[in-house]
Amino acid sequence: MEKPTIILATSNGVGMGHLARASAIALALKEYANPIIVSMASGIAEIPEFMGIRCEYIPGRDRMWMTRENWDEYLRDRLLALVDETGARVMSFDGVVPYPGVIAAKFSHPKLALVWVRRGLWQKKPQRFVLGLQSQMMDYIVEPGDFARAYDFGPTAGRSEARLTSSVSLFQKDTALSRDDARTVLGLDLSRPAVLVQLGTGDSDVNEKVTAALSGLLGWKDLQVILTKQPVDKDGKSLAPDGLDIRVVRHFPLARVLRAFDAAICATGYNGVHELLPAAVPTVFVSNIRGTDDQEARAQWCHDMGFALRANQADLSDITATVTKLQDSAVRDRLHTKCAELPDPTGGAEIAKILYELAVQEDPIRPSWLRYKQLLAQDHINRGMRHVVYMGLRRLSLIYRLINPHMGVEVTREEPPVWGSQNTAKELHPLIKGPRRFEHLITDASDSYIRRRHEIAEKAYGEHVENINSTRT
């Protein structure tokens, strides 16, 4: 029997949680299916080269490369074109909001089943008001397990339509490197202690948390501090206090080399918790309160159950003091030992089996078009309410910018898009993050698919794109 093709789509969330879960599921699928990952997250640049999985980047609506209405249709048409190209019978979507374009793609294809991979631990944000309607649009709903599920009191907690699995993680005991092998890969000293710091940078409050956390590492003898991005603000000013040996390392997937670290400081996102704790890395969690994910609830559970330390994200002095506790080997040993009690995160394989079974069964029972129209109507209402608030905020921001002009605003160049099927991070990162429109193609795309993609792009951008013969790279 020929392997079925399964598309795993993700939104562009605050962190890498959506993409990490899709990657874990795709790796499990490779044995008996052909997974393809499509994502609006820039992190997709890392996947094809290192995982051997075909991928496509789809620009999110936040790129503002087209109008919102055009983007909904563009997303629908991109997904449908990929379904037709690959013969996929199942598409999963990992994200808080199933975009109208995702649901429209499912309703526009008679044999496509749509599975919502819906993480729990939601904060009580406005998205909860359409949760029931969105759920009715799906053929199947899966909730990846969360170690902290006992502290989930959000809008998804009391719902019964989702199938709960074990937690999903790219860390797997049998594929993770040993301490010395991981350190060799990362270029770290084998004999000196090493701490991983993953807090991100950007807004001033996040930057302050990074500085506070790094300050808690001062005085740790012979320490190697490993970050995944330079600890600098937007003006290039260092966020790190003097006296630390800081190294910036890029490695994907990081889960494979987590045993290299004696401790970690990390935001309390889904993938951070479900990679670091199974790897038994003593960790201080500093929550990011943006987005829908209830990181504070997850951090509190980790702390209360003794699996990690929680720093008060609103108190910089507490962040420094809590991180300082990691310098105590007794504290690290206690956390390391406690983490051994956690169950293995086998949810990636469980969800892969669910998707495979759907791909080889008869046509799914489909919700009615009426439900789909209701969702569209609700989306327009929500968008209208957001628009009123947005206009007020926009006027305030315009006044502010008259007083404090913002220099160097990056604007997408309205030139014909760059086309290509690049599959290395070195090639993809500049294209995904660059100022020019980028149309990414899966490897080995057919001529008919390329022609269809040009039609979709021309419709979305409202202009002619370059000759089709120039697209293959």
- 436-440 and 113-117 beta bridge pairing: unpaired
Residues 88 and 164 in one domain: yes
Task: Write the Ramachandran bin of 292: left for phi over 0, alpha for psi from -120 to 50, otherwise beta.
Answer: alpha
Residues 149 and 275 in one domain: no
User: What does the alpha-carbon distance between residue 150 and residue 464 come to, in Å, rounded to a whole number?
Assistant: 54
User: What does the alpha-carbon distance between residue 172 and residue 396 come to, in Å, rounded to a whole number?
Assistant: 49
Backbone φ and ψ for 301, nearest 5 degrees, come out as -60, -45
For residue 437, give the amino acid letter: R
Tell me the average pLDDT across 307-318: 97
* Residue 387: per-residue pLDDT: 40
- 90-94 and 54-57 beta bridge pairing: unpaired
pLDDT in tens, 64-114: 888 888 999 999 999 999 999 999 999 999 998 899 899 999 988 888 999
Residues 160 and 195 in one domain: no
Position with higher pLDDT, 250 vs 256: 256
Domain range enclosing 191: 179-343
* Residue 472: per-residue pLDDT: 53
pLDDT band at 381 (very low <50, low <70, confident <90, very high): low
* Residue 364: per-residue pLDDT: 53
Secondary element (H or E) of residue 439:
strand 436-440
408, pLDDT greater than 80? no
Q: Is residue 397 part of a domain?
A: no
* Residue 388: per-residue pLDDT: 42
Backbone φ and ψ for 39, nearest 5 degrees, come out as -155, 155
Tell me the average pLDDT across 255-273: 97
Which CA distances in Å does 270 have to 17, 195, 298, 350, 407?
6, 20, 8, 17, 35
Q: Is residue 399 part of a domain?
A: no
Position with higher pLDDT, 246 vs 62: 246
Average pLDDT, the chain: 87
Residues 226 and 334 in one domain: yes
Residues 359 and 426 in one domain: yes
Inter-residue contact 271 to 20 (CB < 8 Å)? yes
Position with higher pLDDT, 212 vs 396: 212
Residues 276 and 424 in one domain: no
* Number of domains composing the chain: 2
Q: Is residue 296 part of a domain?
A: yes
Tell me the average pLDDT across 32-51: 93
Backbone φ and ψ for 440, nearest 5 degrees, come out as -95, 140
* Residue 369: per-residue pLDDT: 52
User: What does the alpha-carbon distance between residue 67 and residue 151 come to, in Å, rounded to a whole number?
Assistant: 39
The DSSP 8-state label assigned to residue 147 in this structure reads T
User: What does the alpha-carbon distance between residue 38 and residue 408 come to, in Å, rounded to a whole number?
Assistant: 31
pLDDT in tens, 161-188: 999 999 999 999 999 999 999 999 999 9
User: What does the alpha-carbon distance between residue 121 and residue 36 come to, in Å, rounded to a whole number?
Assistant: 27
394, pLDDT greater than 80? no
Q: Is residue 173 part of a domain?
A: no
Of the candidate ranges 127-131, 191-195, 206-210, the one whose mean pLDDT is the lowest: 127-131
pLDDT band at 363 (very low <50, low <70, confident <90, very high): low
Inter-residue contact 122 to 96 (CB < 8 Å)? yes
CATH number at residue 154: 3.40.50.2000
Q: Is residue 205 part of a domain?
A: yes
* Residue 129: per-residue pLDDT: 75
Q: Is residue 384 part of a domain?
A: no
Task: Find residue 164's DSSP bridge partners.
Answer: 143
Q: Is residue 398 part of a domain?
A: no
- Give the percent of the chain with pLDDT over 70: 85
- What pTM did the predictor assign? 0.87
The answer for residues whose C-beta is within 8 angstroms of residue 128's C-beta and 6 or more apart is 122, 154, 155
Omega of the bond prior to 253 within 30 degrees of 0, cis?
Answer: yes
Q: DSSP assignment of 318-369, as one string?
A: HHHHHHHGGG-HHHHHHHHHHHTTSPP--HHHHHHHHHHHHHHSSPPP---H
